[in-house]
């Protein structure tokens, strides 16, 4: 005799929702692992420039 039933999804939806279907937790800063090295080098200098600009803006805001 061959099997009559090959697949069923019965009750799986209820089981999944018992503990709640949650979104994947994401980090504030995602890993740069596996990213193009040229892009990573450029990103380093871009971030430094941004930090300098933010610090300068804060300084001018305090002085004003």
pLDDT digits over 7-54, tens only? Answer: 999 999 999 999 999 999 999 999 999 999 999 999 999 999 999 999
d(CA 19, CA 31) in angstroms, rounded, equals 29
Task: Retrieve residue 53's tokens.
Answer: 């600009």
Whether 60 shows a pLDDT value over 90: the answer reads yes
Q: What is the pLDDT of residue 40?
A: 96
- Ranges of each domain in the chain: 11-63
Angle (CA) 11-26-35 rounded to 5° is 120
d(CA 21, CA 12) in angstroms, rounded, equals 12
Q: Identify whether the C-beta of residue 32 lies closer than 8 Å to the C-beta of residue 40.
A: yes
Whether 64 shows a pLDDT value over 90: the answer reads no
Q: What is the pLDDT of residue 5?
A: 86
Is the model's pTM score more than 0.75?
no
How far apart are the two ends of the chain, measured CA to CA in Å?
88
């Amino acid at each position: 005799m061959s099997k009559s039933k090959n697949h069923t999804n019965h009750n799986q939806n209820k089981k999944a929702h018992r503990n709640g279907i949650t979104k994947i937790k994401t980090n504030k800063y995602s890993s740069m692992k596996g990213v193009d090295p040229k892009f990573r080098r450029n990103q380093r200098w871009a971030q430094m420039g941004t930090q300098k600009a933010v610090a300068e803006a804060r300084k001018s805001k305090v002085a004003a």
